[in-house]
Amino acid sequence: MVVLLRKLRCYMTALLSSIIIVLLLYFQNSVLVFTDDSYGFISKKVQCACSICVTDRGNSHWFSERYDNKVPLLLNSTNSVLRANVSRWWKELQSNAGNYTEVVHQLFPLFPDKEHYSDAGPDRCRTCAVVGNSGNLLGSNYGPLIDFHDFVIRINKGLTEGYEKDVGSKTTHRIVYPESAVDLDNSTHLVLLPIKILDIQWLISAFTTKNITQTYRKVPSTIKANKDKVMILHPEFIRYVYDNWAEGHGRYPSTGFLTLIFALHICDEVNVFGFGATSGGIWHHYFEKILTSYETGVHAGKFENEIINRLQQENKILMHKGWT
């Protein structure tokens, strides 16, 4: 009888230990939640291997209300049919709207038609540097830090040659529209921001007939870039940024603001360089002396700047504001 009791005790101990181990494994990715009259566990997947992951919604209700991980980021053949409200809004931005359906039929035989950025996981920490064009980069010595990131996303005509010490030399993505297009090396993704159907037509022409040389101003008839690395931002993504992040301010979001929100969707950790004014309050590009203003034009620069600052306050990005 004593032997039987000992065996039973050992069995119960082993069973209890197994249950505890299983519970620990289950709850290691869970959060204990207390309410006024109860408590419980909510399953919470590990988002990434960074110390703080952008997509961790649990640490910011403000961010969680705005961030939509289901919005299509890039245009492809399976998501190219636009929802009516998106199509209507996007076409209102254009003075001369072409036939979108015909343009899309020409698009994907030329450029990659696949899913991108589906490699997120608990063992990854995808770091991104979003590099704007502010004069506050001059004298910053940020170049090595910028180049250390997995993705380095540059905007429009931001130069690297001659400015490597402050802005780095690495570029994995460059977001442009026809009027801001520049030649790229073979390893860089050309990410087109299509504000109008003509922008997509220009992209097709630049790699084929080279017959489009004018939009609302003169544009390059061709561009040096790797066509296998071409991407097109989805019009629904542009509308989403306008609705959820710009909150309807301005006519449509600026390239820099769109780029930053794009980075929040493809990166686990986002560091931002070259946004805002210099320490003296001057707005200009680091590669030219022409003064700029974030308060004029079709974009709601002041409101966008407030949202960017709030993203830093919510620990979703880290701003590097330079030294000048």
The CA distance from 44 to 139, in Å, is 43
Quick one: CA dihedral 245, 30, 313, 35, positive or negative? Answer: positive
| 69 appears as a binding residue in the annotation | no
| 133 appears as a binding residue in the annotation | yes
Amino acid at 7: K
| 149 appears as a binding residue in the annotation | no
| 309 appears as a binding residue in the annotation | no
| 286 appears as a binding residue in the annotation | no
Sheet-wide strand order for 189-192:
230-232, 189-192, 173-176, 151-155, 127-131, 269-273, 318-320
| 299 appears as a binding residue in the annotation | yes
- DSSP-assigned letter for residue 259: H
Catalytic residues: 252, 299
The CA distance from 76 to 201, in Å, is 15
Amino acid at 71: V
Helices (H), the chain: 2-27, 61-66, 84-92, 100-107, 143-147, 164-167, 197-207, 235-240, 255-266, 301-313
User: Which residue from 201, 195, 142 is spatially nearest to 167, judged by alpha carbons?
Assistant: 142
**Greatest distance between any 2 Cα atoms in the chain:** 97
| 28 appears as a binding residue in the annotation | no
Quick one: CA dihedral 200, 102, 243, 241, positive or negative? Answer: negative
| 294 appears as a binding residue in the annotation | no
| 99 appears as a binding residue in the annotation | no
Whole-number Cα distances in Å, 120 to 116, 128, 321: 11, 13, 29
Binding-site residues for substrate, please?
94, 133, 156, 216, 252, 256, 276, 285, 299
Binding-site sequence positions: 94, 133, 156, 216, 252, 256, 276, 285, 299
